Amino acid sequence: MKPARYLAVGLLPLILCGCLEVEQHPSWVRGEYNGKPDNQPQQTSFHGDRLAWNAAITDRNYRQNEYRRAKP
C-alpha cells in the first residue's frame, strides 16, 4: 500500500500542472476592449477632413526634406 501512496503523491503535481494554467495574454490581444475608441488624426485636428490632414502631412514632409533645404 505504501508504494501506491508514494506513486499517487508523486504523480499528483504532474496531473495538476495542466489544470493550473493561467491566461497568458490580456484580453485586448483578442480584440476585446472596454474603453472608448480612439479618434482618427483627421477627426481631432481637421474636423474629419481627411484631405486637409493628408495635405498638411505632405506639406510638413516636403519642408523637412534635407535634400530640398541644402543648397548645391
Is 22 inside a domain boundary?
A: no
Residue-range definition of the domain harbouring residue 49: 39-67
Is 31 inside a domain boundary?
A: no
Is 34 inside a domain boundary?
A: no
Section 53-62 average pLDDT: 90
Buried b (16+ CB within 10 A) or exposed e, 13-42: eeeeeeeeeeeeeeeeeeeeeeeeeeeeeb
Whole-number pLDDT of residue 15: 77
pLDDT surpasses 70 at 72: no
The answer to whether the beta carbons of residues 45 and 53 sit under 8 Å apart is yes
Is 28 inside a domain boundary?
A: no
pLDDT single digits (tens) 3-47: 888 888 888 887 777 666 677 777 777 667 777 777 777 788 888
Whole-number pLDDT of residue 20: 64
pLDDT surpasses 90 at 55: yes
pLDDT-derived band of residue 66, with 50, 70 and 90 as boundaries? Answer: confident
Sort 56 into a burial class: Cβ within 10 Å, 0-12 / 13-18 / 19+.
middle
Is 5 inside a domain boundary?
A: no
| Total domains, the chain | 1
Is 46 inside a domain boundary?
A: yes
Is 23 inside a domain boundary?
A: no
